[in-house]
Amino acid sequence: MRREIWRHFDFLLFGSVVILCIFGIVMIRSAIAGSESLAGLVQSQTIYVVIGIVIILATAMLDYHYWASLTNIMYIGTVFLLLVVFVIGTVSFGSARWISTGLVNIQPSEIGKIVIILVLAEYFNRHQDDPHNLRWLGISFALTFGMVVWVLLQPNLSTSIVIFVIWFALLWLSGLSPKYLAIFVGVALFGAIVTFPFLANYQQQRVITFLFPDQNARYGNSYNIEQALIAIGEGGLFGQGYGHSSQVQLRFLKVRQTDFIFSAMASEFGFVGTVLIVALLIFVVLRCFRAARLANDLFGSLIAYGFGMLIFFQMAVNIGVNLKVMPVTGLTLPFISYGGSSLISLVFGIGLVESVIIRRKPLDF
């Protein structure tokens, strides 16, 4: 059995993820720019990467079907953690998203992304032969909204959008009738308009600043994105060199180890360097989609598609924010930005994808 596991193990996917994680450590080391308050991030991220590699291998060896029996427990447990955030959550950047354990900070909303993929994959797999009507659609929405509502109240709009995107992607892949597409789009637009007045003030300002930018503004809501654009521009074709970006090393670029690490990367490695890293991220997404196509069943296929969509959407939004083609959201660059909860969640997903590909159709060569 072990020989069979390693024969089908996707070493290209695994190797690509490890390279991205190591590159993330390298970028974080440069991004801290000698700041004493951020000095411990490199060591922390290194520990997370080592743990993450173990998680990928351990999860890959476990049959992914095992998780189908745990989806109810995982769903309830995640919602409980999201509720705990309101009681003892650590506030940062205007919202309470973390639970501090003393040793590490846990972000339940990151866990929620993974759990909702498993929950929806199990639901759509179990009801794949049922009529794909409004009841089928409504139950899947209720499962999704039951988690999203607690994420929204943190407030954490960006993660809420990610979860809804995952829901729609899996819904479409499970056979959503085109006749419901217009209804879905209409409800989404109506929800966006109705929800806007209830967003936190800083979230409203991000949208307003994006839609109606002040060309003379260089501080306040425009500061971070303006500095990000300067960092990208100064990188040119080949970059200023590792550890030599003036925007990074002089600390003009803020949150450079998380939200704006793409700009730091562009400044140091230029257009060529960023293209190579983005290409590697896209390669990871394509390997997830390949696993989905080769999966033995709909459950495995939806798991792989779900994680592929998660990585692609989060990557696209993060880069879009750095390039000022999207409002600032707070989504990080997968595998590269600093963040323990985010990294562990993503590598767990990669482990699940590996489990799917290992147990792929036996006739595939």
Three-state SS string over the chain comes to CHHHHHHHCCHHHHHHHHHHHHHHHHHHHHHCCCCHHHCCHHHHHHHHHHHHHHHHHHHHHCCHHHHHHHHHHHHHHHHHHHHHHHHHEEEECCEEEEEECCCCEECHHHHHHHHHHHHHHHHHHHCCCCCCCHHHHHHHHHHHHHHHHHHHCCCCHHHHHHHHHHHHHHHHHCCCCHHHHHHHHHHHHHHHHHHHHHCCHHHHHHHHHHHCCCCCCCCHHHHHHHHHHHHHHHHCCCCCCCCCCHHHHCCCCCCCCCCCHHHHHHHHHHHHHHHHHHHHHHHHHHHHHHHHHHCCCHHHHHHHHHHHHHHHHHHHHHHHHHCCCCCCCCCCCCCCCCCHHHHHHHHHHHHHHHHHHHCCCCCCC
The confidence score (pLDDT) of residue 224 equals 80
Rg, the chain, Cα only = 21
Tell me: cis bond preceding 155? Omega within 30 of 0 counts. Answer: yes
Query: What residues contact 330, with CB distance under 8 A and at least 6 apart?
Result: 93, 156, 158, 259
Query: What residues contact 252, with CB distance under 8 A and at least 6 apart?
Result: 227, 230, 231, 246
User: For 187, what's the count of Cα atoms within 13 Å in the CB-facing half-sphere?
Assistant: 9
> Residue 122 in contact with residue 71, Cβ under 8 Å?
yes
Report pLDDT digits (tens) over 165-192: 999 999 999 888 777 777 777 766 766 6
The confidence score (pLDDT) of residue 4 equals 63
Mean pLDDT (whole number) for 37-55: 91
**Where is mean pLDDT largest: 130-139, 196-205, 290-299?**
290-299
Report pLDDT digits (tens) over 151-163: 888 777 888 889 9
> Quick check: 217 pLDDT over 70?
no
> Quick check: 16 pLDDT over 50?
yes
Report pLDDT digits (tens) over 300-331: 999 999 999 999 999 999 999 999 888 877 78
Report pLDDT digits (tens) over 87-105: 665 555 555 566 766 666 7
Mean pLDDT (whole number) for 54-69: 94
The confidence score (pLDDT) of residue 209 equals 65
pTM for this entry = 0.87
The confidence score (pLDDT) of residue 363 equals 44
Q: Is 242 left (phi over 0), alpha (psi -120 to 50) or beta?
A: beta
